[in-house]
Amino acid sequence: MVDKSSFLQGFYLLFNEIRLLSRSKLTLTSVFLTALAAVLGLNAIDYTGKYSLIGLAKTPLTVGLGPAQYAGMAGSLLFAVLTLMLLSRDRRHKSTVILDTGRNHSRLLAFRTAAVLFYGIIAVMLGALALYVVQVFVLKIPFDPGVSLPALLAITLAGIFFTVLLCSGLYLITESLDIAFLVFCILFFISINSPNYLFQWVQSPAQIYSDFGGILPVFKLVLYNRLFWSFVSTGIFTAGLLCRRRYELGLGGSLKLNAKYVRVTGLFLLLLSASLLTYLNEPYINPNDSVFDTGLKVDEKIKLISVFPDVQFFPEAQALSARVLYEFEKEPGTEYIDFITNPRLHINAVAINGVKEEIAGVAPFPASFAKTYMKFFE
């Protein structure tokens, strides 16, 4: 049976931490600036600068991703500072020994972390409300909750949750505000610059909203990334509970003492195993499908002069079909052009000086592609 007195005591403790945080200017600033970042993201149709999308119409789809990405970045940094300042308060006030002897300090830290997460939810809710007001009444753009809310939840709120858990765990492991924030910043910048989508926990692998909401395989990348970081961030937080200093003991002594709590130790091992298995069994990206061999010798007598792609997407089947016409130009005396293709890419036909050549092992032209073929010019 559930101990009602323990439940009520825990609820009161959580409510008290939430109430104390509401009096903090840093808390209010973090919530307000996160919501403001979401509004500023409305103008970031192409937030990465990687695509030429100038003049793209502003619709619920085209403005849906920018607010979530902007709020995710700003919220992560702001709530990292808030979390570290809150958890380091006892050490700065030199009251950790009193808390260790008077109550369960681990439980208090867990409730403080939950209180910060509560204000992360408030920040996202306020951001969604601000987006609605600005979109509808200022920019005159329809607000589609089916577009904006999934992005805010899967990107912004998840990013804030990961931040709070990571910072809590890092601080408990290091017992240093400076070191914990430095390690967090390293993880933050790795996330922004990493080409591996699994490490992009601050934002998401999506570049424009049609990728995130319209192409199911990309949305699966976002969800798998969130699953992976749910295990990682919770695992680091659990590791922090195991490393929390006890009775002025060092890291080794505290770890031995905390490891006696079987549930915490078991949870950490479970999360560690889940993180490793999730990373090693990533199901969507095959690194061997797109390999560029930079060690091959380039024949300067052969030039690629034009490319004409014909690509069709099939969203329901989660597939695509592509046929591409390549035109090459070679200098006299060059007898061979070597083609090295990736798996599932095939040469359908070859034409030299406009005349189709029959080559063993090369399939004939498809009917829909009768006038497009690979050309060679002397």
pLDDT tens digits for range 146-197: 888 988 999 999 999 999 999 999 998 988 899 999 999 999 999 988 888 8
Amino acid (one-letter) located at 158: A
State whether 354 and 319 are in the same domain: yes
pLDDT at 285: 74
> Would you say residue 211 has pLDDT above 60?
no
pLDDT at 46: 52
pLDDT at 350: 76
Give the tokens for residue 97: 């020994």
State whether 330 and 204 are in the same domain: no
Least confident of 117-131, 179-193, 275-289, 323-337: 323-337
Neighbours of 242 (CB within 10 A): 21
Side-chain-side CA neighbours of 238 within 13 Å: the count stands at 19
State whether 261 and 159 are in the same domain: yes
Q: Whole-angstrom Cα distance, residue 277 to residue 55?
A: 44
Q: Is residue 295 part of a domain?
A: no
State whether 155 and 262 are in the same domain: yes
> Would you say residue 369 has pLDDT above 70?
no
Residue numbers of the domain that contains 190: 4-280
State whether 274 and 308 are in the same domain: no
CB contact at 8 A, 295 and 327: no
> 140 versus 365: which is more confidently predicted?
140
Give kind and range of the element (H or E) at residue 352: strand 350-352
Q: How far apart, in Å, do the first and last CA atoms of the chain sit?
A: 86
pLDDT at 209: 55
> Would you say residue 368 has pLDDT above 50?
no
Least confident of 91-95, 328-332, 372-376: 372-376
State whether 116 and 168 are in the same domain: yes
State whether 265 and 331 are in the same domain: no
pLDDT, mean over the chain: 79
State whether 190 and 86 are in the same domain: yes
Neighbours of 223 (CB within 10 A): 12
Q: Is residue 285 part of a domain?
A: no
> Would you say residue 97 has pLDDT above 50?
no
Q: Is 82 exposed, middle or buried (0-12, 13-18, 19+ CB in 10 A)?
A: buried
pLDDT at 310: 83
Entry pTM: 0.75
pLDDT band per the 50, 70, 90 thresholds, residue 366: very low
> Would you say residue 315 has pLDDT above 70?
no
Least confident of 151-155, 268-272, 308-312, 373-377: 373-377
Q: Is residue 293 part of a domain?
A: no
Q: Is residue 240 part of a domain?
A: yes
Q: Kindly report, residue by residue over 247-303, the tens digit of the pLDDT.
A: 666 777 777 777 777 888 999 999 999 999 999 998 877 655 555 555 667 677 777
pLDDT at 244: 82
Tally of domains in the chain: 2
> Would you say residue 49 has pLDDT above 90?
no
Q: Whole-angstrom Cα distance, residue 31 to residue 41?
A: 16
Amino acid (one-letter) located at 143: F
State whether 160 and 66 are in the same domain: yes
pLDDT at 371: 36
Sheet holding 302-314, edge to edge: 302-314, 319-330, 374-377, 350-352, 355-357
Q: Is residue 170 part of a domain?
A: yes
Domain boundary among 216, 248, 280: 280
- Residue 302 sits at φ, ψ, to 5 deg, of -120, 130
Give the tokens for residue 373: 């073929």
Could you tell me which residues come within 8 angstroms of residue 94 by beta carbon, excluding any fewer than 6 positions away?
Answer: none
